[in-house]
Amino acid sequence: MIKVYRKTATIKAEQFDNSREMAEKYHVEYDGASSILPFRIDTPKGWLRIKVGDWIVADDDGKYWPIADDVFKKTYAELPVIPKDVAERIITEHSLNDLIPTLGGIYRAMIQTVVYGYQKGDIGDWIVNHSDDFARAWLDGYQVEEDK
């Protein structure tokens, strides 16, 4: 029987734009031998071809790998960006829920917001109006919104 799996790893990636800074940072060289893939990047497996718009992914050892743009977009989604107070709520709820299943914690956090009410502009308002982002942040991680 075929089983279905999902990837759970969080990665760091940057889209290659052919800037001098990126070429130096990731050891990308121009190699005009191929008009379709005119650049190459030094990886643990040797030199691999890359083109503008492809993604450069860093592994845990600081090594870099190219991933074609279409493959990257099918495989990865950017972590949601959430307000600092919502991030603090997630941290607090996670620590309170160490012995409670994760989905129970998400459910409780969202239901409490609805049952006990919320006011426009507060944390509960954000959670209700961004419930998908809240759930993804709870499960997969998040980026905190920069101060304005």
Side chain identity, residue 73: K
Q: For the chain, which residues make up each domain, given as ranges?
A: 12-75, 81-144
Q: How far apart are CA 75 and CA 1, in angstroms?
A: 23
Q: In this predicted model, what pLDDT tens digit does every residue of 55-88 receive, in sequence order?
A: 999 887 888 999 999 999 988 888 889 999 888 8
Residue count (the chain): 148
The pairing of strands 81-82 and 64-67 is: unpaired
Q: What distance, in Å, lies between the first and last C-alpha atoms of the chain?
A: 52
Q: In this predicted model, what pLDDT tens digit does every residue of 95-143 receive, in sequence order?
A: 555 544 555 566 566 666 665 666 676 777 888 888 888 888 888 888 8
